[in-house]
Amino acid sequence: MSNFEKPVAVKGMNDLLPQDSALWEWLEGQVRSLMARYAYRNIRTPIVEKTPLFIRGLGEVTDIVEKEMYSFEDRLNGEQLTLRPEATAGVVRAVIEHSMLYDGGKRLYYMGPMFRHERPQRGRYRQFHQIGAEALGFPGPELDAELILMANNLWKELGLNNIRLEINSLGQPAERSAHRAALINYFEKNTEVLDEEAKRRLHANPLRILDTKNPAMQALVEAAPRLMDFLGVESLAHFEAIQSILSESGVAWTINPRLVRGMDYYNLTVFEFVTDELGSQGTICGGGRYDYLIEQIGGKSAPAVGWALGVERVLELVKSQASVSGVDSVPDAYAVIPDACALPLAMALLGQLRASGVSVQMHAASRGTDGMGSMKSQLKKADASRATYALIFGADELTRGMVTLKSLRAETGFQTEYRIDAAADLVSALKKHP
Ligand code: ATP
Ligand code: MG
């Protein structure tokens, strides 16, 4: 025994064991298929970016930048780095760095871990995973709608229901600043109701006060001046165009005037998909338009819109709502090898089978077993593997150049011999599942 304590993972960061991982892989497969059908292409950016990218991108007065980032100094060159808390800033950085918009807009998607120093609880972790889609270089409301419809179709394809769509428009910067002035004026007249956080945000980011979860401030926030009343014709037209597309596609939504979202970079459309079935962490996907972010980060001005979904939350919903079967892979065959002498021959044949698309789990001796283990114990393992067949490399058959294929699932439990040098016959037998 070692003198060290049993190692544990970092708080709020979870291992994904094979039985759970199977569902993740299934989800990722569903997403890849969906993205391909909408012609969104995969992008993978580094998990670490320079800290100023997030400060500039997300905004200084945001939960993420104020308190949730894992930032550190590169010990070798003193550079400030941050584990990405979200992926849009990194995607935009990559799009600028590689001049990806030179020949028109791009539709992209990503999947991967994000890091935020939050209080871990159900649906909220310090390493969590997002899948996101971004359409960059397109100004029209049809892209906002396409992204919303795409997410909505994902819920359908995953077998999910009871997810509602909330949308809002944050307008353009000029409209927002007129509203902002009205908002500051309103809150200043009511400072006695504001909590400390709200007071601090009053001049820096009054819009975020609307996002408060403090019950004592609800009435005040409810009656605050509405941004919608400050929107001009173009912003309203953009918002209405999205709604007519949604309605023609049979998608229901509600307008939530208090939907502002955590990042500063949004303008015009913002939206969230919410469920009541996950406790207080009910937002499974959020997004919106961010026409000024690319320029803000140092690129040539270009419009963009996107969303990100929380994988853990979506999968929790899948587990409670959908009946997903066949995601955990089981091998076609389990290779029973009673005598270690047969290993070279057996492994050569297994290699041929696998090259032809058959999945085979090879028996391997466990510590403490005498040799390879008895035929009986190996067949027990074969059964436990849930394989359809056992492929038995018994000494008798081998001397005759044969292997035995035994069904582990069929009622009749048939058993047939195949020639080792005719792997093709074996392959077609193995691909037939009784
Ligand atoms: P919340 O209000 O729940 O903190 P957010 O507005 O910070 O969410 P976004 O930054 O928009 O979330 O991220 C998009 C999605 O990623 C969220 O809707 C959620 O599903 C998921 N998500 C965000 N933070 C976490 C986290 N700490 N753990 C697990 N999932 C998360
Ligand atoms: Mg958050």
Distance CA 121, CA 125 (A): 7
User: Ligand 2 centre from 310 Cα, in Å?
Assistant: 11
Residue nearest to atom 19 of ligand 1 (CA): 310
Residue nearest to atom 9 of ligand 1 (CA): 286
- From the CB of 14, is ligand 1 less than 6 Å away? no
Q: Give the ligand 1 atom nearest the CA of 126.
A: 27
Instruction: Please answer whether residues 308 and 288 qualify as being in contact, where contact means their C-beta atoms are separated by less than 8 angstroms.
Output: no
**pLDDT tens, position by position, for the chain (434 residues)?**
567 899 999 999 999 999 899 999 999 999 999 999 999 999 999 999 999 999 999 988 888 999 999 999 999 999 999 999 999 999 999 999 999 999 999 999 999 999 999 999 999 999 999 999 999 999 999 999 999 999 999 999 999 999 999 999 999 989 988 998 999 999 999 999 999 999 998 988 887 888 788 899 999 998 999 889 999 999 999 999 999 999 999 999 999 988 887 777 889 999 999 999 998 889 999 999 999 999 999 999 999 999 999 999 999 999 999 888 878 889 999 999 999 999 999 999 999 999 999 999 999 988 776 788 899 999 999 999 999 999 999 999 999 999 999 999 877 678 999 999 988 999 999 988 76
Q: Give me the pLDDT at residue 338, please.
A: 92
User: Ligand 1 centre from 299 Cα, in Å?
Assistant: 26
Question: Using alpha carbons only, what angle is made at residue 37 by residues 31 and 41, rounded to the nearest 5 degrees?
Answer: 70
Q: Give me the pLDDT at residue 3, please.
A: 73
User: Ligand 2 centre from 64 Cα, in Å?
Assistant: 7
User: Ligand 2 centre from 21 Cα, in Å?
Assistant: 24
- Side chain identity at 420, as an amino acid letter? I
Pairing of strands 283-289, 304-310: antiparallel
Among the bound ligands, name the one nearest to the CA of residue 281: 1
93-103: buried (b, 16+ CB within 10 Å) or exposed (e) per residue?
A: bbbbeeebbee
Among the bound ligands, name the one nearest to the CA of residue 125: 1
Q: What is the distance in angstroms between the CA of the first residue and the CA of the last residue of the chain?
A: 48
- Which pair of tokens denotes residue 34? 């969906």
DSSP letter at 10 equals P
Cα dist from 286 to 25, 89, 131, 134, 135, whole Å = 22, 15, 11, 12, 14
- Which pair of tokens denotes residue 121? 């609880």
CATH class (in words) of the domain with range 333-430 = alpha beta
Residue nearest to atom 6 of ligand 1 (CA): 262
Among the bound ligands, name the one nearest to the CA of residue 123: 1
Span(s) in the chain for CATH 3.40.50.800 = 333-430
Distance CA 13, CA 384 (A): 31
- Which pair of tokens denotes residue 178? 């007129």
- From the CB of 390, is ligand 1 less than 6 Å away? no
- Which pair of tokens denotes residue 156? 């359908």
- From the CB of 166, is ligand 1 less than 6 Å away? no
Q: Give me the pLDDT at residue 434, please.
A: 64
**What sign for the dihedral angle of Cα 183, 188, 193, 194?**
positive
Distance CA 424, CA 129 (A): 42
| Beta strand residue intervals within 187-336, DSSP E | 254-255, 267-274, 283-289, 304-310, 333-336
Instruction: Please answer whether residues 302 and 290 qualify as being in contact, where contact means their C-beta atoms are separated by less than 8 angstroms.
Output: no
Q: Count of CB atoms within 10 A of residue 369's CB?
A: 12
Q: Give me the pLDDT at residue 258, please.
A: 82
Q: Edge-to-edge strands of the sheet including 164-169?
A: 41-42, 106-115, 127-136, 304-310, 283-289, 267-274, 164-169, 254-255
User: Ligand 1 centre from 268 Cα, in Å?
Assistant: 20
Among the bound ligands, name the one nearest to the CA of residue 124: 1
Residue nearest to atom 24 of ligand 1 (CA): 124
Q: Count of CB atoms within 10 A of residue 67's CB?
A: 10
- Which pair of tokens denotes residue 39? 């012609």
Using most ligand atoms within 8 A of CB, pick from 134, 211, 281 the residue to mutate for ligand 1: 281
Residue nearest to atom 26 of ligand 1 (CA): 124
With a CB cutoff of 8 Å and minimum separation 6, the contacts of 388 are: 330, 331, 332, 333, 407, 408, 409, 430, 433, 434
Residue nearest to atom 21 of ligand 1 (CA): 310
Q: Give me the pLDDT at residue 9, please.
A: 96
Q: Which CATH superfamily is domain 18-171+231-321 in?
A: Bira Bifunctional Protein; Domain 2 (3.30.930.10)
Span(s) in the chain for CATH 3.30.930.10 = 18-171+231-321
Q: Give me the pLDDT at residue 205, please.
A: 82
- From the CB of 151, is ligand 1 less than 6 Å away? no
Instruction: Please answer whether residues 84 and 48 qualify as being in contact, where contact means their C-beta atoms are separated by less than 8 angstroms.
Output: yes
Distance CA 222, CA 124 (A): 27
Q: Give me the pLDDT at residue 2, please.
A: 64
- From the CB of 281, is ligand 1 less than 6 Å away? yes
151-184 pLDDT tens trace: 999 999 999 999 999 999 999 989 988 998 999 9
- From the CB of 314, is ligand 1 less than 6 Å away? no
Q: Which of 360, 334, 357 is nearest to 428 (CA)?
A: 357
- From the CB of 284, is ligand 1 less than 6 Å away? yes
